[in-house]
Amino acid sequence: MFKRVTFLGLIAMLSFVVGGCTALVPVNSGLEGSGTKEAQALQDSSPAPLPKGLTEDDLLYELAKRVPSFGGMFVDESGVLNVWLTDPSLQVIEALRAAIIALWGGGWFRENAPKRVIKALKADYSFKQLYEWYKPMVDAVFQIPGVFSTAIDDLKNRLSVWVDIGDTQAAERVRQVLTDLGIPLQAVIISEEERPQLLKELTDKFRPLEGGIITRIYSLP
């Protein structure tokens, strides 16, 4: 479901990492062949009905409404799932697992469980708070020349704004907008980078014609 996350669920024992210490915590997560009616029910559970057209951030917001401590999640280079939590306790991890099953069904785990370790990171902000800051921030900062991208940054438990490299004036104007909106400056990372270059559009000529031509191609820095 999400390109930026995966989640551990299909194991009988969950390796849980907090502050450099690892503890094995028994988790009944719907593993095939576990032999219990509860496990089979989790495995076969269906996703909750959700409105169509939700973005990835919208879906994570639905999760955050059920687990207020949730601050985002990502998979690191070693394949370990990192979860930001304002309360990184074992009880919250179990609540998060149950919420994912309730929202997206037991099959979500089967499709997103390549590793056996989940690492809890102490979050400064909940995803719900970041999400609710994000929309007014986006509406305001894209009025500033030099701003070309924004995101809820799961890697850093922050909001992110990208401005053209060397455009210190744009960066300063972003800071002023954040202050006016009441968004803490420490909750937002402002980065100066080279703007991605648009190389081709659908109106450009493609010969010979092939199926599946994408609408835009960008060259990233």
87-146 residue pLDDT tens: 988 889 888 888 878 887 766 666 664 655 677 889 999 999 999 999 999 999 999 999
Which of 122, 137, 168 corresponds to the end of one domain?
A: 122
Question: The tokens of 169 are what?
Answer: 């004036």
Check residues 205 and 198 and name the one with the higher pLDDT.
198
Check residues 17 and 137 and name the one with the higher pLDDT.
137
Same-domain check for residues 45 and 96: yes
Same-domain check for residues 55 and 142: no
For residue 127, what are the contacts with CB-CB under 8 A and spacing of at least 6? 60, 61, 63, 64, 70, 71, 72, 84, 152
Output the pLDDT for position 25.
36
The pTM for the full model equals 0.72
Same-domain check for residues 55 and 154: no
Same-domain check for residues 105 and 62: yes
Task: Please tell me the distance from the alpha carbon of residue 69 to that of residue 126, in angstroms, as a whole number.
Answer: 6
| pLDDT higher than 90, residue 76 | no
In Å, what is the CA distance from 166 to each residue of 129, 151, 194, 209? 30, 20, 9, 40
Output the pLDDT for position 101.
81
Length, in residues, of the chain: 221
Output the pLDDT for position 195.
86
Same-domain check for residues 84 and 29: yes
| pLDDT higher than 90, residue 189 | yes
Same-domain check for residues 135 and 90: no
Check residues 123 and 195 and name the one with the higher pLDDT.
123
Task: Please tell me the distance from the alpha carbon of residue 65 to that of residue 107, in angstroms, as a whole number.
Answer: 21
- Print burial letters for 156-169: b (CB count within 10 Å at least 16), e (below 16): ebbbebbbeeebee
Identify residue 214 by its one-letter amino acid code: I
Name the band, by pLDDT with cuts 50, 70 and 90, for residue 74: confident
Same-domain check for residues 137 and 150: yes
Output the pLDDT for position 197.
74
Give the number of other Cβ atoms within 10 Å of residue 71's Cβ.
Answer: 27
Number of domains present in the structure of the chain: 2
| pLDDT higher than 50, residue 160 | yes
In Å, what is the CA distance from 119 to each residue of 101, 113, 176, 192, 196? 19, 14, 35, 30, 33
Does residue 149 sit within a domain?
yes
Check residues 96 and 210 and name the one with the higher pLDDT.
96
**Domain ranges, residue 149:** 127-196
Output the pLDDT for position 126.
97
